[in-house]
Amino acid sequence: MAELIDIETARATRNAPDADCVSTDADGHPIFLFAVGYRHNGRRYSLDIWARSRQDAAEHVAAMRKSLWLEGKVLSVIEVD
What is the extent of the structural domain holding 35?
16-67
* DSSP 8-class letter at 79: -
- Whether residue 38 is contained in a domain is answered as yes
Q: What is the pLDDT of residue 16?
A: 80
Q: What is the pLDDT of residue 1?
A: 66
Whether 26 and 50 have beta carbons less than 8 Å apart is answered as no
Q: Is 56 inside a domain boundary? A: yes
In this prediction, residue 30 carries a pLDDT of 95
**Number of domain units in the chain:** 1
pLDDT of residue 68: 95
Q: What is the pLDDT of residues 10-33, one digit of tens each?
A: 777 777 888 899 999 999 999 999
